[in-house]
Amino acid sequence: MEHRGVSGPATGDARVDEAVARLADLAGLPVAEHPPVFEHVHERLTEALGDLDVRDPAGPGSPGGPGAPGG
How far is Cα 28 from Cα 19, in angstroms, rounded to an integer?
A: 16
Other Cβ atoms within 10 Å of 1 Cβ, number: 4
Mean predicted confidence (pLDDT) in 42-47 = 95
Residue 29, pLDDT > 50, answer: yes
pLDDT of residue 15: 93
What is the mean pLDDT of the segment spanning 53-57?
Answer: 64
Is it the case that residue 18 has pLDDT exceeding 70? yes
Supply the pLDDT for residue 52. 82
Who wins on pLDDT, 1 or 31?
Answer: 31
Tell me the percentage of the chain whose pLDDT exceeds 90: 54
